[in-house]
Structure 1
Amino acid sequence: MLADSPSVTRAVESLPKAHLHLHFTGSMRPATLLDLAERHRVRLPASLTSQAMITLSPDERGWFRFQRLYDAARACVRTPDDMRRIVLEAAADDAAEGSRWLELQVDPTSYAVHVGGITPALEIVLEAARDATALTGCSVAVVVAASRTRHPLDARTLARLAARHAGEGPGTVVGFGLSNDERRGDTAEFAGAFDIARDAGLACVPHSGELLGPGHVEQTLRELRPDRLGHGVRSGEDPGVLERVVAAGVALEVCPTSNVSLGVYPDLGRVPLRQLVSAGATVALGADDPLLFGPRLAAQYRSAREDHGFDDEGLAGLARASISASRAPVAVKRALHAEVDDWLAGSCDEGAPERLAV
């Protein structure tokens, strides 16, 4: 995938792609956060009021600070209109960066207290996803995520809710995840929730293999039988585990900026992106929580080019992988793969497309 000679470099913003790892609150524009904080009279930590990327230590203290900041941002989301705004703006920002299919991850429990329960909370997001699809050109589906910090029975409740709204197109639930600190909870105890989701035809997409190493990835493969891993980047530390990931066809949602911001790797060049791809892993790049970490989706592709030497063909391969690993309908995948081929065959793009005014 390395270019042997100088070649055309096309704008990564115009490369059609799918975005499979973006959290609801973490997708917010900084300006939106400030607006909501002022409207609801929430005092924000100083680090959330600047545009600088937040960098944290890789230990539990660093994660605690991340969670505190995330919770502070989430506390600003108080009304159905707030929730709809976040979805619409996330879709518009994704569309401006070439994302044609977005699977937005949300834990309805976090917003239920303000809107009358977990069912209304999810339905607000799903309705907004349908509206955003029509307005922005980026199709938006939803991944319902449980938290490792709550009881496994809560995860089962969310899995049943997700199953009731399962579907194949925009504005439906297409996956079920497990988020928060990988060091919390017993992975095996969440297997029942994932059985419910799997029986409903949902993609199983738990977080694993970012804060913890390949041993945690191996456990997650065994206990939860995932279709994708949120992160999974540290599977590369054990060739045997990585081989099992590849053999099982489990895609990795790799979020380079998140890895560096959380201190997993010292810089973007040390994220083992090429190692994973060279081993045959299906890698879908994601932005994770750009509200806290700064760069959005296109920057992850730019890093693949600048820090890892991926040429345009290599970037197209990453985009194709993201589309293949998504839960987009088969016809949509086929059309998006054709768009990637067109991008690769076309001439150099002049700059990024204009941001949608949403």
Structure 2
Amino acid sequence: MSPVAAAPQRSVTDLPKAHLHLHFTGSMRVATVRELAEQHGIRLPASLTTDWPPRFETADARGWFRFQRLYDAARACVRGEADMRRIVREAAHDDGAEGSRWLEIQVDPTSYAPFVGGITPALEIVLDEARTVSGEAGAASVAVVVAASRMRHPLEARTLARLAARYAGSGPGSVVGFGLSNDERRGDTAEFGPAFRIARRAGLALVPHAGELLGAESVTATLDALAPERLGHGVRSAEDPRVLGRVVEEQVALEVCPLSNVSLGVYDTPGDVPLRTLVAAGARVALGADDPLIFGSRLGEQYASARADHGFGDAELAELARASFAASRAPSDVVAEAEREVSAWLEAPAG
């Protein structure tokens, strides 16, 4: 008896999508960080050279420390305006090459301020290059999310929120959101509330990280303290039906990054990520790549995992893509065109 042929499938690369969870340093090509390290005379750890991509055993403090050490080593290679512009440009073209129409890249300008004269020039460099590259063929349009760090004082977050508010807008090269990143086990989420109120008054999307290293209780604390529009990750809301129900009821979108969750040890295998649970409950899910430089997987591979590890058919992948635009701050004309392109993708012959 001959084997049954697999049903033809449409290319996830050709599926138009928005990318809402990508960190600035973590977006770098591994070849780029190696070139910058050589250029600036910096020695990289083996996990970014001969042993790339790294793997982390668990999401405990030691696992996160190892991740953060690698991230800091990569960030140390970014030493000025030219390096920063290169990162934005390559991220836009890399995303465009895998079907992204709209990218909201997350940056903490304090990390690069010492090399360019302050946090304002650092942000302006990113925004200027985002505007420039967004008009190029093959590149995704790029907007910016300014992110504060949980590892720093909440007063610094207020300073960053005021800076983000100054450049708030709705198109490419604008600040469209304000986030809170780094180890969610550190700091008191409620203490960052004043910074998020500043961002809210400016009309920015509120997009803090929560529900990755900590469970559903972290999601609840973040919803209570910050009233976000989206959650970076939020995947562990699936551990408590009441919390997940609240996420759905309050229409908080989840920026789920399945393969980075596995790399960090939050889940053992891609099939363990509760993507089906979240979608079945009615949550709006936007897949993201998080830090391709560290985790070795880009946005297209998250969609491929949804298909291979969770059995998502093409119609379901199209709904994920639509959800990514619905959760974005992309202009209405970008969203409308993406909707037409997603429908065309789904109507085209498979295979």
Match of 1:352 in 2: none
How far off its partner does 1:332 sit?
1.3
Say whether the 8 Å CA contact 1:214–1:238 is kept in structure 2: yes
> Which residues of structure 2 form unaligned runs of 5+?
none
How far off its partner does 1:51 sit?
6.4
The 3-state SS of whatever aligns with 1:226 is coil
**1:185-334 equivalences in 2 (<5 Å):** 185-334=187-336
**Which amino acid in 2 is paired with 1:102?**
L
Question: 1: CA distance between counterparts of 2:51 and 2:68?
Answer: 18
Say whether the 8 Å CA contact 1:30–1:51 is kept in structure 2: no
Question: 2: CA distance between counterparts of 1:108 and 1:318?
Answer: 30
Question: 2: CA distance between counterparts of 1:34 and 1:8?
Answer: 39
Say whether the 8 Å CA contact 1:21–1:286 is kept in structure 2: yes
Say whether the 8 Å CA contact 2:81–2:116 is kept in structure 1: yes
Percentage identity across aligned positions?
70
Please state if 1:105 is matched with 2:95: no
Match of 2:124 in 1: 123
Question: 1: CA distance between counterparts of 2:51 and 2:313?
Answer: 30
**Which amino acid in 1 is paired with 2:66?**
R
**Which amino acid in 1 is paired with 2:33?**
L
**1:63-212 equivalences in 2 (<5 Å):** 63-135=64-136, 136-212=138-214
Runs of 4+ that moved beyond 4 A:
none
Say whether the 8 Å CA contact 2:94–2:139 is kept in structure 1: no
Question: 1: CA distance between counterparts of 2:72 and 2:186?
Answer: 17
Cα offsets for 1:293-340 (capped at 9, x unmatched): 001000000000000000100100100000100000112111111110
How far off its partner does 1:52 sit?
3.4
**1:2-17 equivalences in 2 (<5 Å):** 7-17=7-17
Match of 2:19 in 1: 19
Cα offsets for 1:237-267 (capped at 9, x unmatched): 0000000000000000000111001100001
**Which amino acid in 1 is paired with 2:125?**
I
**Which amino acid in 1 is paired with 2:31?**
A
Say whether the 8 Å CA contact 2:97–2:139 is kept in structure 1: no
How far off its partner does 1:6 sit?
5.8
Question: 1: CA distance between counterparts of 2:50 and 2:121?
Answer: 33
> Which residues of structure 1 form unaligned runs of 5+?
350-358
**Which amino acid in 2 is paired with 1:131?**
T
Match of 1:353 in 2: none
Q: With the length of structure 1 as denominator, give the TM-score of the two structures.
A: 0.95
Say whether the 8 Å CA contact 2:54–2:294 is kept in structure 1: yes
Say whether the 8 Å CA contact 1:155–1:190 is kept in structure 2: yes
Say whether the 8 Å CA contact 1:287–1:300 is kept in structure 2: yes
The 3-state SS of whatever aligns with 1:171 is coil
Match of 1:354 in 2: none
Say whether the 8 Å CA contact 1:183–1:212 is kept in structure 2: yes
Say whether the 8 Å CA contact 1:55–1:260 is kept in structure 2: no
Cα offsets for 1:14-66 (capped at 9, x unmatched): 00000000000000000000000000000111111136332212100010111
Cα offsets for 1:176-227 (capped at 9, x unmatched): 0000000000000000000000100000000000000000100100100000
Question: 2: CA distance between counterparts of 1:113 and 1:79?
Answer: 9
How far off its partner does 1:137 sit?
3.4
Question: 2: CA distance between counterparts of 1:96 and 1:239?
Answer: 37
Question: 1: CA distance between counterparts of 2:77 and 2:140?
Answer: 25
Question: 2: CA distance between counterparts of 1:46 and 1:249?
Answer: 42
Matched residue count: 345
Question: 2: CA distance between counterparts of 1:10 and 1:130?
Answer: 31
**Which amino acid in 2 is paired with 1:108?**
P
Question: 1: CA distance between counterparts of 2:46 and 2:6?
Answer: 44
Question: 1: CA distance between counterparts of 2:304 and 2:156?
Answer: 39
How far off its partner does 1:86 sit?
0.3
Say whether the 8 Å CA contact 2:103–2:142 is kept in structure 1: yes
Match of 1:29 in 2: 29
Label 1:51 to 1:346 Cα distance change in 2 as closer, same or farther (>3 A).
Answer: farther
CA RMSD of aligned residues (A): 1.1
Say whether the 8 Å CA contact 1:205–1:226 is kept in structure 2: yes
**Which amino acid in 1 is paired with 2:30?**
P
Say whether the 8 Å CA contact 2:95–2:139 is kept in structure 1: no
The 3-state SS of whatever aligns with 1:19 is strand
Say whether the 8 Å CA contact 2:46–2:52 is kept in structure 1: no
How far off its partner does 1:146 sit?
0.1
**Which amino acid in 2 is paired with 1:216?**
S
Question: 2: CA distance between counterparts of 1:251 and 1:53?
Answer: 29
The 3-state SS of whatever aligns with 2:207 is strand
Question: 2: CA distance between counterparts of 1:243 and 1:51?
Answer: 41
